[in-house]
Amino acid sequence: MLVEFADFGCKYCERFATEVYPLVEERYVSTGRLRFGFKHLPLRSHPLAREEAVASECVAKQDPFAFWRIHDRLFADARRVHGIEDVYREIGVIGVAASEAKRCVAGRGGYASIQADIDEAHGLGLSGTPAFALGTVESDRVTILKTRTGFATFERLASWIDETLDGGTTTRVARP
């Protein structure tokens, strides 16, 4: 299991989402070698990041698959998102009720799960983005084997992943 801790305002997270992840999907996820997960780690240096994270969680409450659509739009169109109203516009574009997302954000929906992600990242010693945790899954329990922080090219990330997968843990990595 590869878990990315990211911030929608982070340009290196954007690069991972648009340049590296498609290659990770092709080589590892679609082949069943590992699963991929996303967790929020909004940084204080990106003032809109926490609101974007909350809005994305509110979208997921309406439609779990819509989370990935808003994730992809926010990273693909990061330069067009300057405020929360831009986020709501993007939510409307993906076919989810922006008005319902606004109510959810105003009601602080999603804040608890985001704080749990932040606490988990900090517990793993992760404080910058993008950050990654690589582990195994057994009976719905993830055991983290190693972590890394910072952008990496696909080649460097693949080498880091392969060190673990080829080290005998492949059979313990959950299939999608």
pLDDT of residue 57: 94
pLDDT of residue 53: 94
The residue extents of the domains of the chain are 2-172
pLDDT in tens, 23-64: 999 999 999 999 999 999 999 999 889 999 999 999 999 898
pLDDT in tens, 69-118: 999 999 986 667 778 888 898 899 899 998 999 999 988 878 999 999 99
Choosing among 3.90.850.10, 3.40.30.10, 3.40.50.720, 3.40.50.1820, the CATH entry for 2-172 is 3.40.30.10
Other Cβ atoms closer than 10 A to 42: 24
Supply 3's token pair: 């878990």
pLDDT of residue 138: 85
Q: How many residues does the chain have?
A: 176
DSSP calls for the chain: -EEEEE-TT-HHHHHIIIIIHHHHIIIIITTTS--EEEEE---TTSTTHHHHHHHHHHHHHH-TTHHHHHHHHHHHTGGG--SHHHHHHHHHHTTS-HHHHHHHHHTTTTHHHHHHHHHHHHHTT--SSSEEEEEEEETTEEEEEEEEES---HHHHHHHHHHHIIIIIGGGSPP-
pLDDT in tens, 118-161: 999 999 999 999 999 999 888 878 889 999 999 999 999 999 99
pLDDT of residue 172: 34
Other Cβ atoms closer than 10 A to 52: 25
pTM equals 0.88
